[in-house]
Amino acid sequence: MSIAVCPGSFDPITLGHVDVVRRALTIFDEVIVGVAQNPGKNYRFAPEERLALAESAIADLPGARVMPVHGLLADFVQDTGASAIVKGLRGAADFDAEQAMALMNRHLSGVETVFIMGDPRLAHVASSLVKDVARHGGYIDDLVPTEVAAALTRKDSDV
Ligand code: PNS
């Protein structure tokens, strides 16, 4: 049974993330969507909200499940028995950001990172951009799962 961890902040999960999880499931038997905390980021959604939205987004993907990541990703990967980390790439800028993390995670635990090119039709879809579009009242229904679009609309009407 091959297991991969697909980690991220998922603030919130987008259709780009879901696409990468779907592609990863063509390679691995099980994909754990690891919802992590990056202390350098000011999150729009609380950890439990990010987890719940990720769970609803992957509910129809057999073999995918969501777990919170506490502490080091390298430790989490070892604890879950996963054989790889999976990350999606939209382009060269993503690779630049991911390279050092992949090497650090391998240094810490020996685990390899597998990069998957996402759907080019979703190459512009980033959580940060989606939040900005939503904040200004733009159309996001073709960028994020239905539950995420509703949650962003609720958040933006709260402020
Ligand atoms: O979606 P993001 O914010 O780009 O994801 C970054 C994330 C959460 C995958 C990264 O910050 C991470 O792995 N955090 C867990 C703590 C850790 O292991 N840090 C060292 C990374 S080499």
pLDDT at 25 over 60: yes
Residue 114 main-chain phi, psi, to 5 deg: -105, 125
d(CA 15, CA 145): 6
Q: What is the mean pLDDT of residues 19-36?
A: 98
Dihedral (CA of 131, 136, 137, 143) sign: negative
Is position 56 annotated as part of the catalytic site?
A: no
Query: What pLDDT is attached to residue 159?
Result: 55
The string of pLDDT tens digits covering residues 97-119 is: 999 999 999 999 999 999 999 99
**Residue 73 within a domain:** yes
For the chain, the domain total comes to 1
**Residue 38 within a domain:** yes
| Bridge partners (DSSP) listed for residue 66 | 33
The answer to whether residues 90 and 16 touch, using CB atoms and an 8 Å cutoff, is yes
| Residue owning the nearest CA to atom 8 of ligand 1 | 8
CATH code for the domain in which residue 110 is found:
3.40.50.620
- Assess whether the C-beta atom of 113 lies below 6 angstroms from ligand 1: no
Domain of residue 35 covers 3-124
- Assess whether the C-beta atom of 146 lies below 6 angstroms from ligand 1: no
pLDDT at 64 over 90: yes
